[in-house]
Amino acid sequence: MNATKAKPATFLDTNFPVFTTEPHKVADLSAETVRFGRKELELALIEMPGLASLREEYKGKFPLKGAKIMGSLHMTIQTGVLIETLVELGAEIRWVSCNIFSTQDHAAAATVAGPEGTADDPKGVPVYAWKGETLSEYWWCTLQALNWEGGPNLILDDGGDATLLVHLGAEYENSGTIPSPDTATSDEHRIILKTLHAVREDKGDNFWRPMAANIRGVSEETTTGVMRLYERVEAETLLFPAINVNDSVTKSKFDNIYGCRHSLVDAIMRATDVLIAGKKALVCGFGDVGKGSIQSLQGQSARVSITEIDPICALQACMLGIDVVELDESVADFDIFVTSTGNKDIIRLEHMLKMKHNAIVCNIGHFDNEIDMAGVEDLVAKGECEKIEIKAQVHEFKFKNTTHGPNGKGHSIIVLAEGRLVNLGCATGHPSFVMSASFTNQTMAQIELHQNAEAYGKSVVVLPKHLDEKVARLHLDKFGAKLTTLSEDQASYIGVPQAGPYKGDAYRY
């Protein structure tokens, strides 16, 4: 009698093998979806002069030859242009999205097909991403992109999830134990621990340390990911050098501000079709993203207020005629709520219970812990609130025990993208031109790490200012901007090199 062949282990509740042999996994690799994606990649490149210029500058030189880059960054059309720029510069790539709702499926398909391939004969890069992943599928995708013959030697991260998985994996292998999923502090934390247990069962207890040792560095895209890196420097647990791309001026003072100015109301309108003009809108946090979000809402003539903890940012708001309010006291006054703090527990259940009927609630920060989604989902589980899907990433939460809704019954709130970043969950994120500046910094950071990672030790650094100014220069022609030339005499008068950098490191743009 044949011994029954042991069924390969499946990964958590996904029914996927823990490690797949599939070269990619996307929602739809049909010819039409690939065509649509390829066309949008072509159009996007024209709007991404920084990346186009780097492709030209490094044509035939392959500065990233030998680089094996694992990318965890929203799989959008703009990211597709970044990926194909890195490939043109010589890199090998494996890619996932850094959010369960942010993938644009046609971008994923077109990136798998590649410029020389087709839906039937894909010649692009391995992408494991689709819009609407479950959390288990999300971490499965991250694991597949890291699982590479000989391992990746660079990471390009947005929010730090890929960096986190490698660090936790190596840490627990060193300590000899992986905490039980029962000790988890959230659903996502539980899934991460289960991921690490599944890997150990499948690959033993020396899978992550060799991978971590092979990784020469990471470039981090966003504020929250950078915060996590500095926490590791503080705790002396950072395993490899990191370049903080977010704090390039041509990233955070453009993407975080003008990108959100463009994409916040785009998302609210696509999700709800609500008139924003005249409505009272509250933005929690008045940093770069908060400033862009306020401008976005003001562009639609909303009446805007902010909350802040930082007196300097609060004073900036006052100077712009924006009210600075305290959420607990004013929650019932607003029609639209946007969190942009990079912090957690900003809008809590007690706030939701006091909100106007059909108030719109969304987050544009990186993670979904700014809004207490776990708290409101818990109320749904208890039967005290009904969750109604209006359409994908748009839900009505109908409270049963409040009395200020229609006919004195329970009120509702409309939550977008389930509390995840709304501009990528309910729209397509920032426009190509803005992402061009961010991704030109990313490409420069990857080249710097590939060429000089060991020079940085286990630290977090920012790209030098002359590269920041180079990124800005690469984007001026598109606007027909004409720079003034600084004379030698003027340069010495203000004490800067004639060719720049034109500002000191302490300068605040």
Nearest-10 Cα torsion for 124, 134, 431, 269: 150
Q: Does 340 bind ligand 3DD (CB under 6 A)?
A: no
The answer to whether 262 is a known catalytic residue is: no
Positive or negative: CA dihedral 359, 360, 366, 371: positive
Q: How far apart are CA 154 and CA 387, in angstroms?
A: 41
Among 33, 53, 78, 305, binds ligand 3DD (CB under 6 A): 78
Q: How far apart are CA 473 and CA 489, in angstroms?
A: 23
Q: Does 316 bind ligand NAD (CB under 6 A)?
A: no
Exposed / middle / buried, residue 331 (Cβ in 10 Å: 0-12, 13-18, 19+): buried
Closest Cα partner for 125 from 167, 86, 181, 175? 86
Query: 68-72 and 154-157: which strand pairing?
Result: parallel
The answer to whether 102 is a known catalytic residue is: yes
Among 97, 222, 248, 250, binds ligand NAD (CB under 6 A): 222
The residue number with the shortest CB distance to ligand 3DD is 429
Among 259, 287, 290, 342, binds ligand 3DD (CB under 6 A): 259
Residue 402 or 441: the one with the smaller Cβ distance to ligand 3DD is 441
Among 187, 201, 231, 310, binds ligand NAD (CB under 6 A): 310
From 134-142, 328-336, 423-431, 445-453, span contacting ligand 3DD (CB under 6 A): 423-431
Residue spans of beta strands (DSSP E) within 26-147: 68-72, 92-96, 127-128
H-run or E-run covering 414: strand 412-416
The answer to whether 30 is a known catalytic residue is: no
Closest Cα partner for 274 from 295, 298, 302? 302
Q: Does 224 bind ligand NAD (CB under 6 A)?
A: yes
Among 105, 255, 335, 368, binds ligand 3DD (CB under 6 A): 255
Contacts of 24 (CB under 8 A, 6+ apart): 112, 122, 126, 127, 128
The answer to whether 158 is a known catalytic residue is: yes
Amino acid at 304: V
Residue 11 or 439: the one with the smaller Cβ distance to ligand NAD is 439
Q: Does 285 bind ligand 3DD (CB under 6 A)?
A: no
Q: Does 289 bind ligand NAD (CB under 6 A)?
A: yes
Cα distances (Å, whole numbers) of residue 57 to 62, 474, 495: 10, 12, 30
The answer to whether 24 is a known catalytic residue is: no
Q: Residue 316 binds which entry of ligand NAD, ligand 3DD, none, with Cβ cut-offs from 5 to 8 Å by kind?
A: none
From 73-81, 127-135, 395-403, 408-416, span contacting ligand 3DD (CB under 6 A): 73-81
The answer to whether the CB of 422 falls within 8 A of the CB of 263 is no
H-run or E-run covering 185: none
Q: Residue 364 binds which entry of ligand NAD, ligand 3DD, none, with Cβ cut-offs from 5 to 8 Å by kind?
A: ligand NAD
Amino acid at 452: N
The answer to whether the CB of 278 falls within 8 A of the CB of 303 is yes
The answer to whether 366 is a known catalytic residue is: yes
User: Active site residue: 147, 219, 244, 256, which one?
Assistant: 256
From 149-157, 335-343, 430-438, 501-509, span contacting ligand 3DD (CB under 6 A): 430-438
What does the binding site for ligand 3DD look like in residue numbers (CB under 6 A)? 74, 76, 78-79, 158, 221-222, 255, 259, 366, 424, 429-430, 435, 438
What does the binding site for ligand NAD look like in residue numbers (CB under 6 A)? 222-224, 252, 255-256, 259-260, 284-290, 307-310, 313, 340-343, 346, 364-366, 421, 423, 429
Residues marked as catalytic: 74, 97, 102, 158, 221, 246, 251, 255-256, 260, 366, 430, 438, 442
